């Protein structure tokens, strides 16, 4: 019986040895003998083919192998871009923030700021949230504002950067969209009879933004809300401001866009 027990141990030990061998082969680093340039070339190939999940670990290895060199900085930026393309926004932003902190004098700083703005940029800015009776989420507002800050930092620090013109255009879009968001919310509150809330949102738009198209409707909603609350003096004061600022406004004749349309209709 004892002899049989000893014999049974041998296959078990052999199996464990084989499994350990397979594990070590699996964990073997295929890049161990590669030069930094080869790692970079392989990572670029994966990027170009859309295999971002394969490119990211290669860039991570390159950052370690080429530490302290421009190639390591390039790898860090391209890893951030790969995260962005994989819709891993948090990872992309963390990588960019680390780059900005560690390499303040990098010649690629303008691109890092531009990419940070792009990662946070959402060209819908929550448009479809209005169709489901939901305000634009705090996260989307926060991202839009952080996008604006990154673009503003870029154009202030690197006005001649090749990315500056596009950054300025995106800044204008963000400001217009955020102001329009405030007016959408004010209009929604007005349509629900929440006139005080409508006044607060319209005033917020007027206080926070300048020279954007949405302010015309913000004044109109403010005027109508004061009227609904029986605040005749404030209503008349607002009308005078509107007549002076927008003398040809169709809102003053009741033909403005959105005057009588349902709250959920955004176009």
Tell me what the pLDDT averaged over the chain comes to: 84
Asked if residue 221 and residue 189 are part of one domain, the reply reads: yes
Task: Give the mean pLDDT of 78-98.
Answer: 96
> Does residue 88 fall inside a structural domain?
yes
Q: What is the pTM of this model?
A: 0.73
The model's pLDDT over 5-32, given as tens digits with 9 standing for 90+, comes to: 444 544 555 555 555 555 444 557 788 8
> Does residue 28 fall inside a structural domain?
no
Contact 186, 149 (CB under 8 A): no
Asked if residue 256 and residue 207 are part of one domain, the reply reads: yes
Asked if residue 202 and residue 151 are part of one domain, the reply reads: no
Q: Which of 17-31, 101-115, 153-167, 212-226 has the lowest mean pLDDT?
A: 17-31
> Does residue 90 fall inside a structural domain?
yes
- Overall number of domains in the chain: 2
CA distance 108 to 100: 10
Asked if residue 221 and residue 146 are part of one domain, the reply reads: no
Asked if residue 157 and residue 48 are part of one domain, the reply reads: yes
Asked if residue 204 and residue 150 are part of one domain, the reply reads: no
> Does residue 131 fall inside a structural domain?
no
Phi, psi dihedrals of residue 49, rounded to the nearest 5°: -90, 0
Asked if residue 154 and residue 97 are part of one domain, the reply reads: yes
Asked if residue 227 and residue 184 are part of one domain, the reply reads: yes
Asked if residue 157 and residue 80 are part of one domain, the reply reads: yes
End-of-domain residue from the set 129, 161, 193 = 161
CA-based Rg of the chain, rounded to a whole angstrom?
A: 29
> Does residue 27 fall inside a structural domain?
no
pLDDT band of residue 133 (cuts 50, 70, 90) is very low
Over 50: is that where the pLDDT of 134 sits?
Answer: no
CA distance 186 to 165: 32
Asked if residue 41 and residue 102 are part of one domain, the reply reads: yes
Task: Give the mean pLDDT of 241-254.
Answer: 90
> Does residue 63 fall inside a structural domain?
yes
Asked if residue 266 and residue 186 are part of one domain, the reply reads: yes
Contact 93, 81 (CB under 8 A): no
pLDDT band of residue 220 (cuts 50, 70, 90) is very high
CATH number at residue 110: 1.25.40.10
> Does residue 157 fall inside a structural domain?
yes
> Does residue 64 fall inside a structural domain?
yes
Q: What is the pLDDT of residue 126?
A: 46
Q: Domain of 111?
A: 36-121+141-161
Asked if residue 225 and residue 152 are part of one domain, the reply reads: no
């Amino acid at each position: 019986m004892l002899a049989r027990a000893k014999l049974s141990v041998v296959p078990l030990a052999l199996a464990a040895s084989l499994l350990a061998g397979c594990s070590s082969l699996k964990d073997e680093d295929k890049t161990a003998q590669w030069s930094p340039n080869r790692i970079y070339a392989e990572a670029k190939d994966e990027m170009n083919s859309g295999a971002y999940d394969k490119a990211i670990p290669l860039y991570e290895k390159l950052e370690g192998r080429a530490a302290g060199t421009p190639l390591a900085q390039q790898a860090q930026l391209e890893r951030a871009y790969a995260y962005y393309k994989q819709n891993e926004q948090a990872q992309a932003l963390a990588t960019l923030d680390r780059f900005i902190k560690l390499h303040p004098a990098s010649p690629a700083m303008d691109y890092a700021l531009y990419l940070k703005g792009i990662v946070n940029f959402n060209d819908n800015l929550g448009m479809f949230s209005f169709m489901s009776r939901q305000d634009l989420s705090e996260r989307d507002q926060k991202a839009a504002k952080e996008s604006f800050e990154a673009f503003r930092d870029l154009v202030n620090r690197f006005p001649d950067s090749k990315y500056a013109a596009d950054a300025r255009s995106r800044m204008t879009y963000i400001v217009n969209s955020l102001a329009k968001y405030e007016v959408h919310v004010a209009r929604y509150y007005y349509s629900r009879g929440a006139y005080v809330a409508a006044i607060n949102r319209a005033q917020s738009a007027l206080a926070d933004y300048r020279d954007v198209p949405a302010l015309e409707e913000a004044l109109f909603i403010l005027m109508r809300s004061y009227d609904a609350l029986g605040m005749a003096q404030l209503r008349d004061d607002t009308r005078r401001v509107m007549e002076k600022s927008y003398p040809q406004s169709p809102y003053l004749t009741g033909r403005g866009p959105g005057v009588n349309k349902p709250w959920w209709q955004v176009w």
